[in-house]
Structure 1
Amino acid sequence: MSDFSNAFSIAASGMKAQAMRLRHVSENIANVDTPGYHRKTVSLEEAMHDGAPSGAVSLGEMQLDRREPARIYDPGHPMADESGYYDGSNVDLVVEIADAREAQRSYEANLRMFDQTRQMSSALLDLLRR
């Protein structure tokens, strides 16, 4: 049953990591029009157990995208400088939508793995009962 436990924990770690990644993507989309907002990015890292790779994943540190924000011309905006420009956000909505779809599909793949492992362990228990 140890292999089943490992499979469950690996799938659960993947689902947790993708859910947190989707949370960051949602924050980025919500702040696409916020002046001065910098896009948040996260990376996935392999989790270690007793100094050895466990197969599970975890989120790395959240980082801010260093790209320059868009310069927006609006002389009436309260944040505009003397030339009429202000810094918008550096969030690209198309990139965020693609990241959201990738995170969603990765979450679903981990969910299917979790469900397959559950079905296999249930079938094994049924065989052992006979």
Structure 2
Amino acid sequence: MEGTVKIFENVFGIHESALKLRELRLNVLTENIANADTPGYKARDVDFKSVMRSTQAGIKQMATTHGSHINASTSGKDGLVYRNPINPSADGNTVELSVQQSEFGKESARYTATMQFIENRIGGVRRALRGE
């Protein structure tokens, strides 16, 4: 079974990790947009490059056995960081709605491209297994 897992790791490469990370970033951006009018809300983001660099280098996060355990990541849980707004609001909210919406659109396109790449890889494996 371990050999099968290695085959799929080779087929998908870093793209599986990228897809999961893009999904996380979309969720964080959605949360920011939903809280655009919440006083004191601090907008967050995912340090995508840093997390991917760590993934590519083979650096493993310390395993946690419970959701309340501290994650060893230097940039926060799952690479989450707080955004520094260009124009913070008077109520302490750091969400810049237009920036968040723009980032969401860009990340959505990146997610779709990554998903299509993975789907193409799966199609290639299927064709190879059928001998096409």
Maintained 8 Å contact 1:33/1:88:
no
Is 1:65 matched up with 2:77?
no
Partner of 2:100: 96
Partner of 2:63: none
Say which SS state the counterpart of residue 63 (structure 1) adopts.
Answer: strand
Residue 114 (structure 1) shift: 0.8
| Residue identity matched to 2:58 | H
5+ residue gaps, structure 1: 52-58, 72-86
Deviation by residue 1:97-118 (Cα, 9 ceiling, x = unmatched) = 1111111111111111111111
Quick one: distance in 1 between partners of 2:8 and 2:45? 32
Say which SS state the counterpart of residue 96 (structure 1) adopts.
Answer: helix
Residue 13 (structure 1) shift: 1.3
Say which SS state the counterpart of residue 94 (structure 2) adopts.
Answer: coil
Quick one: distance in 2 between partners of 1:50 and 1:13? 13
Greater helix fraction, Structure 1 or Structure 2: 2
Tell which deviates more after alignment, 60-69 or 112-121: 60-69
Normalised TM-score (structure 1):
0.68
Large movers: runs of 4+ above 4 Å? 1-4
Aligned-residue RMSD, C-alpha: 2.6
Deviation by residue 1:34-72 (Cα, 9 ceiling, x = unmatched) = 111111121112203379xxxxxxx8521222446312x
Greater strand fraction, Structure 1 or Structure 2: 1
Quick one: distance in 1 between partners of 2:119 and 2:14? 12
